[in-house]
Structure 1
Amino acid sequence: MKDSKSRVFRKEGGDPEQGSIGDIVEGVPGTRILIEHTDAEIILLPRPTSSPDDPLNWSWRRKYIAQAIVFMWAFMLGAATLSPAVTYASVMAELGASTSYLNVGAALGLLMLGLGNLIFNPLALRFGRRPVYLVSTLISAASQVVVATAQTKATFIGGRILLGFGAAPFEQLPALTVDDQFFIHQRGLGLSIYTLAITTGSFLGPVATGFVIDSMGWRWVYWFYAIFIFSIAALVFFALEETGFPRRIYHQTDPNEARSYDPPKTYLQKLQLITILPIPTSLYRTATTPILLLTSPIIWWCGIMYGFAVAWLTIMAYESTTIFTTYNFSSSALGLTNIAPLIGACLVVYLGGAGTDRFMVFKARRNAGIMEPETRLYSVLFAGPIMAAGLILYGVGAANRIHWAGPIIGMGMIGSALPISAEVALGYVSECYPSLAGEATAAVIVIRNVIGCGMTFAISPWIERSGLKYTFVTVGLLALAVFYSGILLVWKGKACRRLGARRYATLVLG
């Protein structure tokens, strides 16, 4: 059996970091042998090295400690990015800002969340994940101090834009960390943890925010975030291990027979801030690769699908201030409405992540052991109708002044689609482009946030012109169309990957 597995690994060859261009079957990037059909054992991809410090060789305890820290980090930054919606009424009263003006600030913050990754992503790939986690956290904490002390609406918006730049890695870096730590058939589990973090942060943050506003005032919301995020920075520095690993320089072994030839790092060695990682191209080329990947229809679909899902969620959050004011909700009551999308998200988070891991193995066993990335797409067909129905119920219900439970149920349905869209988009694109996973996810995040920025700019005048009812009916139908367009990739995704194989190889080899 050893010879059989060795034959498979020699066939894959290529880059030990992710399998590279050699890690393909039938000349199609992303199509891989996941199961050796002669014994039905799962092949570990990427291939681990002999080092005990290779994150793929870490114990589950060690992996989950790192994931727990990343969870807290993503939770806090997710909370900080969406909680301001609850403070809008107080900010408008004190600083004289209109809803439209604050929505412009939110849109620019979303834009920076995407564009910031074009800077942070190549730095993480070259100098390690730890310094990027730390710098991102410090910038985000500083932005909260700016907002907390703002005396003008322009300063308030400036702080929000700074947060967008500082928090940009929270949209992409955890997915890269998942790729570092987990084998391909386990990544859905890691993405589920990450998605649960940003989901709970995005929804629980506003809940707490409402109570803080009622008891202490809106400025204390940002002071608390500054304190908590600075605390996370300390945790990152002292406890988060580097997951970037120079796998290329280590001798490759059969994953089931790996031995620890190198002594494990000491605690002080683990605190090393910068780890120089080998990349096959220049830092400039690494930074521009996400732009070059925009020729791929797979990148565009993932970005558009994920982008619209986040856009609808953002619109829901920022319009809730206006909608629930008509129901005479206090700030604390407004914050509590976010429990509904949190419940919705928690109910389905397994489906788009860990659930697709099981489905992937199931499908591979019935496909001569060959895995296709398109296996991850099926869950969006479940999420599409739920998202569409939730948007229509939310907007039409509020426009017709039905009982407040109606829009809140709609919020729960909208929230349930977010984790699926995130897990599918990030998981699918990283499997289609295994050696360019960081660059590909960065490209998806840029598209996602450009769409979110545009929709946040457009929603206020759209509602003013068409009304709440017809705007959300249109948005719901658009959401259904975008999610169900995934059928095209289930059908032709492999053909797209085959057509782009040569360009993929060119980008990998520089």
Structure 2
Amino acid sequence: MAEKSDFPDLATVASADHIEDEKKAHTAHDGGHIEGNALLVNRQGEIRKIPVPSSDPNDPLNFKPWEKYGLVFCCCWFSVMGLSVASGLGAILNVFFEMYIPKGFSSDQVVLLITLPTLFIGLGNYIILPLSLAYGRRPIFLISVVVLLAASIAAATQNSYYGHLVSRILQGIATGASESLLPLMLTEVTFLHERAFIFGLYWMVQNAISSSLNLASSYINADLGWRWYYWVFTITVGVGLIIAFLLGFETQFTRPASSLDGQLVITDEFGVTKVIPDSEAQAYLEEMSRSGLTAPNAGNPAQDIERKAYVERLRPWSTPSSQPLRVILLSWKYMLASFSSPGILYAVLTSSIALGCGVGMSLTYNQVLMQYYHWEAKDIGLINVGGVVGAVLGMLYCTFLANPFVLWMARRNRGIHQPEHHLITMAPPAVVGVGMLLLYGFTAGGGATWWGPYLGWTIFQYSFTAVIIISTTFASEAAPKHPGPALVTVVGTKNIISFGVTYGLTPMIEEHGYKWAFGVLAGLFGGIFLLGIPVCIWNPKWRAYVAEREARKGTTTSD
């Protein structure tokens, strides 16, 4: 445990980089304020509640416990159902091969029923998040649920391949809310020190429960037919619409700026909390106003504001931004600008290859288990038991090993947490992931026990879950400018890039076999994670450079 004297003289979570030459740090930016790092504890070793909740009873941070937990439950329900229906066809893919290939469609076209929804989940992020920033979280969330419900009904009733494919694409677009809007809503009702647990729980529940639901898909198909795969999700999404209407409260809130021990705590319209020195506050607020964002007032609201009645909060619309088009365009601009960060690029690559390899396995395990290990079609869904186990293991690793390690690193660093500390915790999932890809590839073609591909899939789900949690956590901290849009860039772009990975997998397997194809994926997987070494070294320097450049320009970063 570090002594109190080891901590810098700060009393709140602050963006202050730890540079060995302190004089250099202070000349780099007035007051030594370099973007990106966070002091998670004060001099007394206490965790501060950041953002600072206002006195407004309608502030999402002041929600009652049942309201917060209800919102978390609501978000988890939608994400599970959306991701399950959009990406869970792997266990019954043989049904669609038998249905569409005799009609003249190729196997590559049939595979699009799985891969295209994944692509459009990513593209949906870039549509849904800007709209929610401009028009409110609740109405866009409710619209996403309605679209998912309608698309599921359409998929269940389609008789043509193209109608089926369009329905799947709409399912993917609507499900994009689960990786952009819903994490934003969770961010807006939690404090900084709570988010690692909440997001770990969110991603774990997604993977574990969706795997459990997909486990039953092959049995549903065997007993009731493939259409009931969609009808079951139509029912659950319909229930989710009721839950969203009752518990999906509006979380958009312009929180007054709070002065805390010489620092100004501000939450912008992207849901990003920023702590800046009071000396920079005026310039920052002016920059926000010029950008078209709503600059928070510098004080708490009046104490006599009444709490909105529950019925009043159920209205499906919210107060839109005064300049909605400008907010939408700014969000796209900030998303594009985030690609200038080496850390964000690395987070995109790691999450993309992890998702791509996972989807690649799901495209093939149906044929592998039926053709080479003689499983019955109705039993294929049992492989998703492994998905549940792997997701839970990934969550446990991040909660009980990775997060305590990051906190320990912060204490060793005089209490200052660097975003790059997260990258060290990616090493075990990366090594395990390479091993499991090789195990799956070398046993998928037969000649071994079915435990080979089964364990390869199961334990890879641990790597996938851990990588997604760590990479998104790192992305939310790694970019000095606009970490909110940067996070959406990571979770959205990973689906787009992973589509490219999976699109080329089937031709590789047909031409070279499973060993070669998954050997290539293992090489890509390992090579990308090795890039974490230079990122750990150079990304802090890049953040310091950006802060120094902004200081010379006389501007401040806006997230």
TM-score, length basis structure 2? 0.81
1:308 corresponds to which of 338, 341, 353: 353
- Give the equivalent residue in structure 1 for 2:161: 153
For the pair 1:89 / 2:94, whether they are aligned, the reply is yes
**Bigger shift: residues 192-201 or 54-63:** 54-63
CA distance in 2, matches of 1:322, 1:126: 45
Question: Residue 387 and residue 6 in structure 1: after superposition, are their counterparts in 2 closer, same or farther (change >3 A)?
Answer: closer
What's the secondary structure of 1:282's corresponding residue? helix
1:190 corresponds to which of 198, 204, 208: 198
Question: Residue 422 and residue 503 in structure 1: after superposition, are their counterparts in 2 closer, same or farther (change >3 A)?
Answer: farther
- Give the equivalent residue in structure 1 for 2:466: 420
**Bigger shift: residues 432-441 or 207-216:** 432-441
**C-alpha deviations, 1:286-335, integer Å up to 9, x for none?**
23321222222222111110011011110111111211121222233100
For the pair 1:347 / 2:347, whether they are aligned, the reply is no
CA shift for structure 1 position 10: 11
CA distance in 1, matches of 2:555, 2:506: 44
Q: What are the within-5 Å matches in structure 2 for residues 401-440 of structure 1?
A: 401-433=447-479, 436-440=482-486
2:537 corresponds to which of 487, 491, 499: 491
- Give the equivalent residue in structure 2 for 1:270: 313
CA shift for structure 1 position 27: 3.4
Question: Residue 314 and residue 42 in structure 1: after superposition, are their counterparts in 2 closer, same or farther (change >3 A)?
Answer: same
CA distance in 2, matches of 1:464, 1:286: 42
What's the secondary structure of 1:29's corresponding residue? coil
CA distance in 1, matches of 2:501, 2:240: 31
1:243 corresponds to which of 207, 227, 251: 251
Question: Residue 130 and residue 494 in structure 1: after superposition, are their counterparts in 2 closer, same or farther (change >3 A)?
Answer: same
CA distance in 2, matches of 1:10, 1:454: 40
CA shift for structure 1 position 460: 0.6
- Give the equivalent residue in structure 2 for 1:168: 176
CA distance in 2, matches of 1:86, 1:494: 44
CA distance in 2, matches of 1:220, 1:322: 22
- Give the equivalent residue in structure 1 for 2:62: 57
Question: Residue 221 and residue 346 in structure 1: after superposition, are their counterparts in 2 closer, same or farther (change >3 A)?
Answer: same
- Give the equivalent residue in structure 2 for 1:292: 337
1:119 corresponds to which of 112, 124, 127: 127
What's the secondary structure of 2:424's corresponding residue? helix
Residue pair 1:24, 1:30 contacting (<8 A) in 2 also: no
**C-alpha deviations, 1:139-185, integer Å up to 9, x for none?**
11211122211212222211111111111111222322232122222
What's the secondary structure of 1:359's corresponding residue? helix
- Give the equivalent residue in structure 1 for 2:293: none
Question: Which residue type is aligned with residue 415 of structure 2?
Answer: G
CA shift for structure 1 position 356: 4.2
Question: Residue 240 and residue 446 in structure 1: after superposition, are their counterparts in 2 closer, same or farther (change >3 A)?
Answer: closer
For the pair 1:368 / 2:414, whether they are aligned, the reply is yes
CA distance in 2, matches of 1:507, 1:5: 22
**Bigger shift: residues 326-335 or 409-418:** 326-335
For the pair 1:234 / 2:242, whether they are aligned, the reply is yes
CA distance in 2, matches of 1:107, 1:295: 28
- Give the equivalent residue in structure 2 for 1:472: 518
Decide which structure has greater helix share.
1
CA shift for structure 1 position 192: 0.9
CA distance in 2, matches of 1:253, 1:52: 20
Question: Residue 183 and residue 366 in structure 1: after superposition, are their counterparts in 2 closer, same or farther (change >3 A)?
Answer: farther
Question: Which residue type is aligned with residue 392 of structure 2?
Answer: C
Question: Residue 29 and residue 154 in structure 1: after superposition, are their counterparts in 2 closer, same or farther (change >3 A)?
Answer: same
What's the secondary structure of 2:431's corresponding residue? helix
Identity within the alignment, %: 24
Residue pair 2:119, 2:172 contacting (<8 A) in 1 also: yes
CA distance in 1, matches of 2:152, 2:342: 37
**C-alpha deviations, 1:24-53, integer Å up to 9, x for none?**
98332221232222x111233223222233
Residue pair 2:15, 2:34 contacting (<8 A) in 1 also: no
CA distance in 2, matches of 1:132, 1:353: 31
**C-alpha deviations, 1:348-396, integer Å up to 9, x for none?**
2132357544334333333233221222222211101111111111121
Residue pair 2:41, 2:47 contacting (<8 A) in 1 also: yes
1:30 corresponds to which of 27, 36, 39: 36
Question: Residue 465 and residue 89 in structure 1: after superposition, are their counterparts in 2 closer, same or farther (change >3 A)?
Answer: same
CA distance in 2, matches of 1:406, 1:174: 36
- Give the equivalent residue in structure 2 for 1:358: 404
**C-alpha deviations, 1:446-494, integer Å up to 9, x for none?**
3211211101210011111221111112212321222232233333321
CA shift for structure 1 position 506: 6.9
1:68 corresponds to which of 65, 70, 73: 73
**C-alpha deviations, 1:98-122, integer Å up to 9, x for none?**
4321223433222211111111111
CA shift for structure 1 position 253: 6.8
Question: Residue 299 and residue 353 in structure 1: after superposition, are their counterparts in 2 closer, same or farther (change >3 A)?
Answer: farther
- Give the equivalent residue in structure 2 for 1:109: 117
Structure 2 unaligned regions, length at least 5: 1-6, 17-28, 266-299
What's the secondary structure of 2:425's corresponding residue? helix
**Equivalent pairs, count:** 495
Residue pair 1:348, 1:416 contacting (<8 A) in 2 also: yes
CA distance in 2, matches of 1:458, 1:503: 42
CA shift for structure 1 position 428: 1.1
Question: Which residue type is aligned with residue 217 of structure 1?
Answer: G
TM-score, length basis structure 1? 0.88
For the pair 1:397 / 2:443, whether they are aligned, the reply is yes
Question: Which residue type is aligned with residue 289 of structure 1?
Answer: Y
CA shift for structure 1 position 6: 11
Structure 1 unaligned regions, length at least 5: 14-22
Residue pair 1:128, 1:242 contacting (<8 A) in 2 also: yes
Residue pair 1:120, 1:169 contacting (<8 A) in 2 also: yes
CA distance in 2, matches of 1:208, 1:104: 22
CA shift for structure 1 position 339: 0.7
